[in-house]
Amino acid sequence: MAAAPPHRRLAASIAAALLFAPCAALAAQDPVTGEEEEAWQDQVIAPDQLAPLPPDESEGFDATGLPRSFRLEALLSRTERGDETFNEGGITFSGFRETEAYGNLSLDASLIHSNRNAEGEGAIGGIATLWQRGLFMGGGWRGNNGLGVLNTPAPDLLREQFRFFLPSVPFAGASTEWRQSERGLQLQAALGRAGVFEGARVVGFDLADGNVGTLGAQWKWSRHWRGAVSALATDGRLLPDDLGGTFYQDGRTEAVHFATGWDVGKHAVNFNLQSSDGDLGGAWGAWADARWQQGRFTHRYGVFNLEPALAWGAQPIANDSRGAYYRAAYQHARWNWSAGVDRITSISGNSFDGWYGTGYARYQATASTAYGGNLAVRRSGSSETLSGQWFMDRAGRWGVSRLQLEHTSSRGGDQGDDSWRVTLDQALPMRRGQRLSLSAAYGELAYDGLPATGVATLSAYGGFDIGSRLTIDGTARWNRSSGGDDFRGTDLNLNLAWRVANRWWLVATIYENQGTRRSPFIIDPLATEQPFVALPRDRAVFLSLRYEREAGTSAGVLGGAPGSAFGSIAGSVFLDENGDGERAASELPASNVTVLLDGRYSVRTDSQGNFEFPRVAVGAHTIEVVPDNLPLPWFLDEQDDRRAVEVQVREAARVDVGARRQR
């Protein structure tokens, strides 16, 4: 049909307007009074244009000056560890202050008094860390400087390791870092006295006799090439003690690590060369890691040669190994799988020599159900070990459930070990700001050729409010075994916080740990092995009084302009035993780990592994976990240590970061 002429379409439009104008006028009148009403208009306000909630007048909020916040806490505790009983008391302080000229200043400090010695006499110790972050200088330079108890820094390129893990060294001293983003420059230096972390509830630091020093730099060779070098010297080594902790053993170690990387988006290669010398002897290592992105596929492959006695600072690293590896991964909306193989040869003939293969798959069958599993096989001569895991995830009216079956079988020589375990994890649906996960498991675990031991485990993890002023959160795990290695285990960490007044909290904590066992399902031959130590019973009760205060025009509106709308970010860092990225009730927290907001504001995780940034500007932010204090062999890969977070108005964004270890 032919279109109407333009003059006819115009006439029809005018007639329609005249016809419907009276109807529109009637619709805009109140049906009772006949008075004309204002026409309804939808109004959508962008989140970043919303004004923040008015401060609680009863709290006397100070809205003047730049953002600042602090927390002061006094603690008392009584601990029973094995056959000894001791008391601890202390004061902790943490806070930050934003400045116009010197960036952000943050301080974490504790003062501890303990009678834990042979004579039962009191001793005073503690820990203090002062950071200055985000100091902007001319020429695009930005500085981060630390003073107190720190960990040795490393250039970014040296931390981008896919198959190997390089630990840091705790020390008391000073550290400085300067970055120039346009030229990709990064300069680092640190010097101090080595030591180890100590203390039960109040974290302390025990100085050793040895010193620690490090120098590092990173730069751009060209548009696609980067280079980095780091030198680390220590006067001792950290070794495990008979209580599951560490002690410092005198002994010189010097090491140098050089790396260069090529990256063009879909293709990347990192070359690493490391050399060490000291009381254990001289050694060197070299390895190359490559990545190739091909559509939905990611290929990773590399070669390595690590001589015996190779060391990095004061902690053990993979050594006495030569070989190559290949990994392939596939990502799809419903399918997710990966597979890989390692060929490893012992240089000295005294370590693992053979093949190691892995496979993982997960299929999202429906919107509420997923299936998956992984398989690892290790073969050396006539010895073979197989470790497998199968799981099913289900989301329903009772929350998210995971049914998981693990099995390990070892054959070879004159011994054979078989272990299996069935686990049911249930994350219950809770109202906003509250969570509760339950876990039940039963299995038969075998170690070192000994008869299998039946082990039943019940666990709970979560937190919830009781009224408006009382909060309870924590973890609880109970183990009961029968068979060849009969034991009872308990892992309890409960906090009860009572808000007695504005800014004032009274917190009671019950802690108990007994019967910890290592996992028999981890068989990666390149994972840093930790000797198994049967810990004695560790039981403690803590009582603390806490005072908190925030102030400033953009008070705690971290990362935003004055008057910005805000929300909050809360989360946890935990040891992801099954590698699924979700915190289960049976998985342990990672305490005393530093978490950074936008690389500027820092907090440490508490004994539950929890952290919180209470007032954060609406918009996009970055959460970064510094893995310096993670226990070996746990680590964070390059995809997990930094997370993008979107903060919404008056809402709490949740970020749970799981450390993992190779299977």
Over residues 25-34, the pLDDT tens digits come to 434 444 444 4
pLDDT computed for residue 25 by the predictor: 40
pLDDT confidence band for 354 (50 / 70 / 90): very high
Q: Which residues face 438 on adjacent strands?
A: 426, 460
Q: Which of 49-63, 244-258, 399-413, 591-605 has the lowest mean pLDDT?
A: 49-63
Q: How confident is the model at residue 21 (pLDDT cuts 50, 70, 90)?
A: very low
* pTM assigned to the model: 0.76
Minimal CA–CA distance to 578: which of 643, 517, 519?
519
Residue 231 has pLDDT above 90, yes or no: yes
Q: Can you tell me the mean pLDDT for 195-211?
A: 71
More confident residue, 532 or 499: 499
Distance separating alpha carbons of residues 293 and 285, to the nearest angstrom: 27
How many angstroms separate the CA atoms of 141 and 180, rounded? 5
pLDDT over 70 percentage in the chain: 76
If phi > 0 it is left, if psi is from -120 to 50 it is alpha, else beta; for residue 280 that is alpha
- Whether 106 contacts 134, CB under 8 Å: no
Token look-up 């060369």 returns 273
C-alpha dihedral (271, 189, 140, 260), degrees to nearest 10:
-10
Q: Would the pLDDT of 316 be above 70?
A: no
The residue type at 263: D
- The residue ranking higher by pLDDT, 359 or 245, is 359
Residues 411 and 414: their CA atoms lie apart, in Å, by: 8
User: Which SS3 state, helix, strand or coil, does residue 330 take?
Assistant: strand
13 pLDDT band, cuts 50/70/90, is: very low
Token digits for 244? 């599951």
- How large is the average pLDDT for residues 576-581? 77
Number of Cβ within 10 Å of residue 513's Cβ equals 20
Quote the mean pLDDT of the chain. Answer: 80
Segment 53-60 mean pLDDT: 47
CB neighbourhood size of 242 (10 A): 11
Give me the torsion for CA of 153, 154, 155, 161, rounded to 10°: -140
Q: Which residues contact 569 (CB under 8 A, 6 or more apart)?
A: 597, 612, 613, 616, 621, 623, 645, 647, 652, 653, 655
Give yes or no for residue 560 having a pLDDT over 70. no
At 255 the pLDDT is 92
Give the pLDDT mean for 611-618: 83
**Structure-token pair, residue 593:** 């780990």
State the pLDDT confidence band at 54, using cuts at 50, 70 and 90.
very low
Burial (CB < 10 A; 0-12, 13-18, 19+), residue 573, is buried
How confident is the model at residue 180, as a pLDDT?
Answer: 92
CATH topology of domain 42-67+556-663: Immunoglobulin-like (2.60.40)
Of 282, 284, 204, 194, the closest CA to residue 237 belongs to 194
Compute the C-alpha angle 241/243/248, nearest 5°.
30
Over residues 85-108, the pLDDT tens digits come to: 888 888 989 888 888 888 889 998
Lowest-confidence segment of 30-39, 435-444, 574-583 by average pLDDT: 30-39
pLDDT of amino acid 324: 97
Backbone angles phi, psi at 20, to 5 degrees: -90, -10
| Confidence bin at 582 (pLDDT 50/70/90) | confident
DSSP 559: T
pLDDT recorded at residue 346: 94
Please compute the mean of the pLDDT values over residues 131-142 and round it to a whole number: 88
Rounded distance, CA 125 to CA 202, Å?
Answer: 10
One-letter amino acid at 505 equals W
pLDDT given at position 540:
85
pLDDT of the residue at 273: 96
Q: What is the pLDDT of residue 416?
A: 55
Q: Which long-range contacts (CB under 8 A, 24 or more apart) does 243-248 make?
A: 243/81, 243/82, 243/533, 243/535, 243/536, 244/516, 244/533, 244/535, 245/196, 245/198, 246/196, 247/196, 248/194, 248/195, 248/196, 248/208, 248/209, 248/210, 248/314
Q: Which residue has the tokens 């400045």?
A: 99
Note if the bond before 170 is cis, omega within 30 degrees: no
CA 545 to chain centre: 27
pLDDT surpassing 80 at residue 282: yes
* Partners of 269 in the β-ladder: 262, 290
Per-residue model confidence (pLDDT) at position 518: 63
Q: How far is CA 323 from CA 303, 307, 347, in A?
A: 6, 12, 10
